[in-house]
Amino acid sequence: MTLKHFSLEYDKVNEQGTFSPGDVLSGKVIVVTSKEIKVQCFLVKAKGKAKVIWTEQDRQTTVVHSNKKKYFYFEHIILQDKNKGDGSEIMGPGRNVYPFSFVIPNTDMPSSYKGKFGAITYSLRAQLTQSIWLVHKTKTEFPFLTKAEFPFASKSDIIIIGLKEQQHATKISFYGSGKVTMNVTSEQMGLKQGEAIGVSVDVFNDSARSVTPKLYLCEKQTFVARSKKVVHTNDILFGTGESVPAESSQTITKVLSIPPEMHPTFFNCCMMKLEYRIKITLDVPLVKNPEIKLPLVILQGLLKPHQQKQKRSIWFKKLPG
């Protein structure tokens, strides 16, 4: 083949390799050919978009729900023949390097994200057209980070105020002639990637059954396509307490560590959002498990993942063992 190599590279603007609104996105396209070639059109595109798609079964018919939104789209023409099709532009043999540069719009846009039924992507594409039958393409995505400090609270200051506050919840359940009271406390509602918080569960078991508390980190992805909505959830177990016998009480303390790679909470996309909860359940034999859910907001971390240091609880007891 005449075209030996066709690649697309971009220049990093920071150590993390991320881009944000207002940044300059520059780079180069590298083309290596074994001999001189004729070119109809050679261009680079920059695009930011969100797209959701899923299917539902309606009797014998499969219904597809989809939607998309474009945040920006730019084209930079490197070569184009003057007569639009005669291949009058010539690319010489060997290694050819073509620079390009775009300015990302300085507007509120969500961070890059890939979920169960949708994604927010920012990409660069290069296309070299020699003829209608001979088109070469290459693509690369670049990580995008929103400038919004709180991409989950554009319309509510209450959430922001409550990020550092302790959270409490109580649930009372009845089993036969007895009752079980569960009190749950978490250190705060918001924390950054790589940080940790303590969660305390007080169980007062006045029933004739034994109960076992379990603690989960719950992820909730919501996708919207016009008037339709689909939700995908994922529960991650991070702690199980010892069984609390009948007519007894017990306090369980666990530390929830947020992985540095876990995506922050966001609401600033009209087609998808990402939320988290702390869920505590009581595993009771032969009975529907009661549960308590506390909101959890995961914030963008300031440090690179390998520099993250876990924040340990000050006011909770040290974990047993």
For 108-124, write each residue's pLDDT tens digit. 899 999 999 999 999 99
Which two structure tokens, joined as six digits, stand for 231? 């939700």
If one counts every other C-beta atom within 10 angstroms of the C-beta of residue 225, the result is: 20
- Measured between its terminal Cα atoms, the distance across the chain in Å is 64
pTM of the model: 0.85
For residue range 268-320, list pLDDT tens digits in order.
899 999 999 999 998 887 677 789 999 999 998 854 433 333 333 333 333 33
Position 148 scores a pLDDT of: 78
Q: Is the pLDDT of residue 216 over 60?
A: yes
Q: Is the pLDDT of residue 161 over 90?
A: no
Position 165 scores a pLDDT of: 82
**pLDDT band at residue 57 under the 50/70/90 scheme:** confident
Does domain 3-141 fall into CATH 2.60.40.640? yes
Q: Where in the chain is the domain with CATH 2.60.40.640?
A: 3-141, 157-307
SS3 of residue 159 by DSSP: helix
User: What is the arithmetic mean of pLDDT over 223-230?
Assistant: 93
Distance, CA of 298 to CA of 277 (rounded, Å): 10
For residue range 183-206, list pLDDT tens digits in order.
999 999 889 999 999 999 999 999
Position 277 scores a pLDDT of: 95
Position 303 scores a pLDDT of: 43
Q: Partners of 55 in the beta sheet? A: 64
**pLDDT band at residue 131 under the 50/70/90 scheme:** confident
Q: Is the pLDDT of residue 234 over 60?
A: yes
Position 83 scores a pLDDT of: 67
Instruction: Look up residue 279 and give its amino acid.
Output: K
Q: Is the pLDDT of residue 4 over 50?
A: yes
Pick the CATH number of 157-307 from 2.60.40.640, 1.20.1050.10, 3.90.1200.10, 3.30.70.100: 2.60.40.640
Which two structure tokens, joined as six digits, stand for 254? 């666990």
Burial 243-282 (b: 16+ CB within 10 A, else e): ebeeeeebebbbbbbbebebbbbbbbbebbbbbbbbbbbb
Q: Partners of 217 in the beta sheet? A: 236, 278
Average pLDDT, the chain: 86
Task: Give 3-state DSSP helix, strand, coil % of the chain, rounded to 5.
Answer: 5, 60, 35
Position 320 scores a pLDDT of: 38
Rg over CA atoms, the chain = 27
For residue range 297-309, list pLDDT tens digits in order.
999 885 443 333 3
